[in-house]
Amino acid sequence: MKYESLRYFFFLIILTVPYLVFGQDFYDRETIQEIKIYFSFDNWKYRLDSAKTGNDGYLLADSVWINNKKYLSAGVKFKGNSSYSPSRNKNPLHIKLDLVKSADYQGYDDIKLGNAWSDNSIIREPLAYEILRQYMFAPKSNFAKVFINNQYYGLMNNTESIDKGFLFRNFLSSAYSFIKCNPESIGSNFGNGPNLGYLGDNISSYLGKYELESDTGWYELVQLCDSLNNHFEQFNDFADLDKFIWMLAFNNVLVNLDSYTGNFRQNYYLYRNHQGIWNPIVWDLNMCFGGFALPGGITSSLNPTTMQTMTHNLHKSESGWPLIFKLLNDPFYVKMYYAHMRTINQENFVTGNYKEWAKKLQLLVEQEVKNDSNFLSTYENFKIALETNTPGTNGAPTSPGIFPLMDGRANFLKNVLSATPPLIEWTKIPLEVKIGTMVNIYAKISNSNKAYLSYRTQISDRFVRVQMYDDGLHGDGLAGDSIFGVSIPVVKPFTQFYFYAENSQAGSFLPERAEHEYYTLEAKIQMPQVGELVINELVPSNNSGIFNEKGKAKDWFELGNTTDRYLSLNGIKVSDDPQNFISWAFPEDAFISPNEHLLVWADGENGSYLNYHTNFSLSGSAGNLILSSNDLIFDQVSYSSVKVDYSSARCPDLTGGFQLLSKVTPGAANQCLNLIDETPKEKVHVFPIPTNGNVEIHSDKVITEIQLFNFQGTFIRGLKIGKSDLSELPRGIYVIKIIDQDNKVYIKKISKL
């Protein structure tokens, strides 16, 4: 993942905002995409309807064209629940580019196209996602003109699919538990839907409410629900609470009731990342901004006027929404919830900033709406839908005009969230940051009785929260001077952090969009010298060994840091081509820890996720690998005859020449002792085993060399036939390598007591 950085007050402090970089992105917000679908038959609608009501399968298209790029044998089907009807001329579409063989457009293989059902403005979904992405990971969304068999099907919302590609781009992995929180049907047995209620340990109780998108995850889902409902003090151990709070704050501020916050408690996904932490992902925003009027529970159906004053504490007293019930009744987390609501409201609606983008979106699509004979509303309703209430659907007689709804709601929330929060300001910034030291961080915090600093050392980790003090005992100056301080360890080149403070009524963050945005404290580290950074191990044919973040067995190699210092990898290049040393370069924030064995995937993914990934794969059983910077070559390796699932690795570890090993050790020291397979039937004798000191070696063969290694494969010294004194060696396991006159190798393990 790449990041956009804004220097803040001082070169060591960086405000970091996650984002993705592409060329002309398929989800570029100011571009209407063009998609053309071709079937070999004319009755495609009948067949799509039949498939939808049957087994919900795909029809095989002759071809699908995306912005003039052709795809053969893609799958196409109708999608949606309420938004689908066989009587409609325009239904939502799901295009699967990789149905038959691997294919993608700019990395996207699933195309989700909505028909803007229940949205006369047609911009609700793109506008809402644009707002949400400021605060948590969420899909991109824009528009696409769709043609089927050369007939204009209409203008559609084009929203990024929440699939494994989305997970990989945002959560840096996709191989773990993944659940869609939508019921199979909304009927009499739907009950409270996927509300995260605890239904016991029987997995069958959760079927129909949740849909498993991964191979496993039911047990972990039950564990999540159990902790939320019965052991809330442990919920933070299983859930990214900040993301759940942002989701609930967004739903309430934007009157997004076709969601967890509304009657059906649905339209979100859950992903359990590599650390075992569940993350929510919001889905299906075509009825945001009051397009759905049923909050459920004790609150009756709303209208455009009552939506403006919908309580910010919706469902606080109702256990049928356990996530809301627990969080809003916790005195610590409810203040965070109010703080996030205040941020969303102030940044987008009190300022009116969202109106400028809403008008741009409508202007962008106006002509296409006018040309769309399958538009589910009318051009006249489209023109006034921002400023005026229009005819509604789904049992609601009126669809709110977005501007009057949110103007009224902005004023209401500004008033009910009027408690004065703490004011957090910078005071002292570290002038020098060194790894291995403690660093003092201070902030001036007014109107606060408690303050916290949350920090982590890399984006894949969880933030650790520590309390800050204004007691004169934490390097914070005088007690009671509103200067809060705390010391944290600097253990890696980058430390990410944010502040949170509270008083009896309100809380506040700095930066306000934390944890989605944060500051980064950077410690300078040196570039490596020749000999300090080496290629240590490589597996050019990984078939059944380790798996990358997508759960795929791919090629990999390992770099070794031979020093006890952190080394920068900024701009260091890796190539498999001796004629081109710059195939791929590490990102500017890349580093290798002291004595680390750094795993790098050579799988063509070209990015920085949980691990680094090059833009090339290794060349089968034979090839080259070069590590360089400008004209300086740090290391280069030529390898050949490497078996499947074997590695070519340095023996001894980090310093020796390369040997073929059957035991691969990604991210760890090479174990150069797997020569037992090569031991001939003739035996040598080593005794006693174990030994307190002396060891004797005898053989009927003529022995030319005897070598002693520790168990990590590091050479210690030579031995001789007969008795050898090992009393000076520390306790542990050792290996004796014996070579006879025919170059046959014998391996013996001994233990020193």
Determine which helix (DSSP H) or strand (DSSP E) holds 496, and give its type and residue range. Answer: strand 494-502
Using 50, 70 and 90 to split pLDDT, how confident is the model at 10? very low
Domains present along the chain, CATH in parentheses: 18-164+364-377 (no CATH), 438-514 (2.60.40), 533-661 (2.60.40.1260), 675-752 (2.60.40.1930)
Using 50, 70 and 90 to split pLDDT, how confident is the model at 3? very low
For the segment 700-721, the average pLDDT, to the nearest whole number, is 81
| pLDDT score of 599 more than 80 | yes
| pLDDT score of 18 more than 50 | no
Q: What is the pLDDT of residues 292-345, one digit of tens each?
A: 999 999 988 999 999 999 999 999 999 999 999 999 999 999 999 999 999 999
Cα–Cα distance, 614 to 590 (Å, whole number): 13
Q: What is the pTM of this model?
A: 0.86
For the segment 221-248, the average pLDDT, to the nearest whole number, is 97
In angstroms and rounded to an integer, the radius of gyration of the C-alpha atoms of the chain is 31
**For the chain, percent of residues with pLDDT exceeding 70:** 92
Question: Which residues make beta-bridge pairs with 508?
Answer: 501
For the segment 6-15, the average pLDDT, to the nearest whole number, is 39
What is the per-residue pLDDT for 521? 92
Report the range out of 184-188, 679-683, 688-692 with the highest average pLDDT.
688-692
For the segment 620-632, the average pLDDT, to the nearest whole number, is 88
Angle at alpha carbon of residue 353, lines to 347 and 357, rounded to 5°: 130
Question: Which residues make beta-bridge pairs with 365?
Answer: none
For the segment 254-266, the average pLDDT, to the nearest whole number, is 97
b/e 408-432 (16+ beta carbons within 10 angstroms → b)? bbbebbeeebeeebbebebbeebee
For the segment 130-150, the average pLDDT, to the nearest whole number, is 98
Q: Are 278 and 270 in contact (CB under 8 A)?
A: yes
For the segment 57-85, the average pLDDT, to the nearest whole number, is 95
For the segment 410-423, the average pLDDT, to the nearest whole number, is 98
